[in-house]
Amino acid sequence: MTDTAHVRPAGVVGVNRAAQGVGVEGFCARGTGVLGVGGADQPGVAGRASTGPGVTGVSAQGVGVTGVSGGTSPGVLGRSDSGPGAAGESGSGPGLQGTSTSGTGVLGRATDGAGVSGTASGGPGVQGTSARGAGVLGQGAGTSAGVAGQGVSGPGVSGTSTQSVGVFGQASGTSAGVSGQADAGPGVSGTSDQGPGLSGTSAHGAGVSGQSGGTAPGVSGTSAGGVGVSGTGGPGAAGVTATGGAGAPGVFGRSDDRAGVFGMSSNGPGVSGATDTGAGVHGSASDGTGVNGDSEFQVGIVAAGGTTGLTATGGHLGADITGGLRVNGVMVAAGSAQFVIDHPLLPAENTLAHAFVASPERKNVYDGVVALDDSGAATVTLPDWFDALNQDFRYQLTSLGAPAPGLHVSAEIAGNSFSLAGGPPAGRVSWQVTGVRLDSWAQANPLTPVAAKPPDQQDFFLHPTVFDQPIERGIGVPPVPARQDDLPEEA
Domain annotation for the chain: domains and CATH numbers = 363-444 (2.60.40)
Asked if 135 and 159 touch (Cβ cutoff 8 Å), the reply is yes
Nearest to 36 by CA among 6, 2, 3, 77: 77
pLDDT at 247: 65
List of long-range contacts for 222-231, beta carbons under 8 Å, 24+ apart: 222/197, 222/490, 223/197, 227/262, 228/253, 228/255, 229/253, 230/196, 231/207
CB atoms within 10 A of CB 368: 12
Q: Give the integer Cα–Cα distance in Å for 140 and 115.
A: 8
pLDDT, tens digit only, all 491 positions of the chain: 455 555 555 566 676 666 566 667 776 666 677 777 777 777 777 777 777 777 777 776 676 777 777 666 777 777 777 666 667 766 666 667 777 666 677 777 766 666 777 776 666 777 777 766 777 777 766 666 777 777 777 777 777 777 677 777 776 666 667 777 766 666 777 776 666 777 777 666 667 777 766 666 677 777 666 667 777 766 666 667 777 666 677 777 777 776 677 777 666 677 777 766 666 777 777 777 778 777 777 777 887 777 777 777 777 787 888 888 888 888 888 888 888 999 999 999 999 999 988 899 999 999 999 999 999 999 999 999 999 999 999 999 999 999 999 999 999 999 999 999 999 999 999 999 999 999 999 999 999 999 999 999 999 999 999 999 999 999 876 554 444 454 445 44
Q: Give the integer Cα–Cα distance in Å for 386 and 417.
A: 9
Cβ neighbours of residue 181 under 8 Å, at least 6 residues apart?
156, 187
Instruction: List phi, psi (to 5°) of 62.
Output: -95, -155
Torsion-angle region of 335 (φ positive above 0: left; ψ -120 to 50: alpha; else: beta): left
Asked if 407 and 417 touch (Cβ cutoff 8 Å), the reply is no
Cβ neighbours of residue 482 under 8 Å, at least 6 residues apart?
247, 284
pLDDT at 366: 98
pTM above 0.75, yes or no: no
Asked if 228 and 253 touch (Cβ cutoff 8 Å), the reply is yes
Maximum CA extent, the chain: 152
pLDDT at 486: 47
Q: Give the integer Cα–Cα distance in Å for 451 and 472.
A: 22
pLDDT at 21: 62
First-to-last C-alpha distance (Å) of the chain = 67
Residue 120 buriedness (CB in 10 A; 0-12 / 13-18 / 19+):
buried
Nearest to 71 by CA among 94, 95, 38: 38
